[in-house]
Chains A and B, each alone.
Chain A
């Protein structure tokens, strides 16, 4: 089922039209299937499943949440080879999910959605893809991923460089890096994983840093065989470990999200890690963050600092002036010349707009409404866009715990809502604007007290400093928020009648 489906099949509306076959899209399909909802269409822009973990296969790519927590609670994997798995193993897990739950039947590959519009008369969402195909669904699930499109930096002369350009999220595995003069721009989550790997093979490696991240030690180890056997034979033991990891991460919220004595403690731990690994005073100064821990994403690594001190590696903290034909010009007046520039510059964040036009009731445009910062009700619904659900919608981002924990709460909310739509025979389930506003007022007042809003610049914030990304609380609080479908917060439109039923 690789290419276009027969028209008849496309025209029959799905109960759930899911955009994206990554963790969120596939997980939602599994949960729907388990509830007996099988009329599902998943639109995937690529020719394979996996989303983030399919795209991010750069050298050293791995998850910085332990695998026992970065997996679905309803599909635990006893065979993780390490405490923090690499991207390839996570992708294998996703493939396993697809096969085990027989999800391939739902997926339409190479269908890149370019437009999503609500047809009020029919009560259907219509997704048009770049192929010109149209798919419809009584409900639609945005599972395209919050970080799925490579973000390129706004550096002058980006197109002038004559050497090789590689983005971390679209790695070119055919390009031989051995002995090359390589630049890495960026020192975020991807960069600190790439740099140690490149330092092993590059002739010369130069890392360009704008802001140093907080880096914590990474308790990574190979899973012993007895552990795998134990998890296989007594799954309850894995559930217990998962619970313990969950609680350990929950406690980190106290350091990460809010400014507390634990924040100071974590900062001391970060500085201790730096001091232990970097003897040179000036290099240590360059690598010491000057913003409060938690304001930007906290990273974990044991081999990043040592890699920077290898004889073939150099850290540059001078501001970049421009990219030239042969390399990168920095403000200290030197042109650093390279064969290859690696852009570990993250992703386009849709915290102010939508990845493609989404049109709701009466032709309203979500892109327009979100221009000054995205807002939703409980991160999942937006008023005026009935039967549309967002995974990792506005203010659902975790800073301290597994994204998959949050995702499971969202998936269950979606399944509950779709079952409600079906059982009450609703044409439209549309959240009330007032409920959405109340929710956002509360979220924003809580966010004001968090480290994310403490003054640094990060991708969590829009250009105006509006935080449309993070959830200000424990994962447990978020799960509680998502545990109940409060019908009083919605306008319900019956399938047969044009009037509101509630």
Chain B
């Protein structure tokens, strides 16, 4: 059963709002970014910001499919909050001189594929699929990346911003795992049948084809930035631990799939998995930019300016 009262959670979400203007983006501390850190950090922040932004789009899709009004409202808030995180991260990039006026960082090709997929197919996906993938992405990527950032960057404004962001993320994960448990509650068999049918859906296969390489790509990025990949795996194991803490959670077939997939990701020895996925990452890297269609207009909604 759900461990949290979603109505109370919605109230809490409404009561704990913050905005970009709550942070003084011009406060001293930007100079603490070292010249060695700067270029790596720029690439890192751009990825992080885009992950938040695609997470936002996933929540928008979930809001459309939510089984009740409370959850619909919660996901609507989460959609906006993920956007807020992307905005705040862009504000940090601007503070650190990584963005020209009005500049939007370029998403890497794997993210570009995910954006394309979300834009075209996310609204048609059953809430169960995104409801399981999103907590995994949040806990693994968001969690690991944020931790790394706070370990390596001394700028107090960065710490202040991420304290606010992490407060939101804790609620997102709380709701995420709770919903996974709700979905696992007493209907495994029916869900399994339904899920098998869903897995045959080519739109979902395309989604998998963009999600799997994204994880490997992020792993590569993390390694490149000097973060031990073990930290990412630790975070991913957390998904297994929290998601599987109750019988209901474990009975959610989507949890089982994502969990097993997570085990593959964290084990480089599983060559049968990593060889083709790494190949996909390489393929994605060489897709020319102009091969992608124009970015959907929701992508342009992000801003580093606290006021409009």
Contact = CB atoms under 8 A, between A and B. Distances in A.
Contact of B297 (A280, A290, A319): A280
Given A283-B297, A321-B17, A329-B19, A337 B87 contact: no
Interface residues of A, number: 22
B69 to A, nearest CB: 8
> Interface majority SS on A: helix, strand, loop or mixed?
mixed
B17 A334 contact: no
B83 interface: yes
Interface string A326-343: 110111111111000000
Interface in B62-84: 64, 69, 73, 76-77, 80-81, 83-84
B34 interface: no
Interface string A268-294: 000000000000111101000010000
Given A318-B80, A331-B77, A281 B19 contact: no
A319 B80 contact: yes
B84 A333 contact: yes
A2 B67 CA distance: 57
Interface residues of B, number: 28
Contact of B76 (A319, A322, A335): A319
A375 to B, nearest CB: 26
A281 B306 contact: no
A146 to B, nearest CB: 26
Contacts of A332: 80-81, 83-84, 87, 301
B175 interface: no
Given A333-B19, A334-B19, A334-B87, A281 B64 contact: no
A457 B69 CA distance: 10
- A283, A285, A336, A337, most chain B CB atoms within 10 A: A285
Interface in A146-205: none
B284 interface: no
Nearest to A288: B64
Contacts of B307: 326-327, 334-337
A331 B80 contact: yes
A281 B119 contact: yes
A327 B21 CA distance: 12
Given A318-B80, A329-B21, 11 more contacts: A282-B298, A283-B297, A285-B123, A290-B64, A321-B14, A333-B19, A333-B87, A335-B308, A336-B308, A337-B308, A457-B69
14 contacts: A281-B296, A331-B77, A332-B80, A332-B84, A332-B87, A334-B19, A334-B87, A334-B306, A334-B307, A334-B308, A335-B19, A335-B306, A335-B307, A337-B308
Interface of A: 280-283, 285, 290, 318-319, 321-322, 326-327, 329-337, 457
Nearest 5 CB-CB pairs, A to B?
Answer: A333-B84, A331-B80, A332-B83, A321-B17, A333-B20
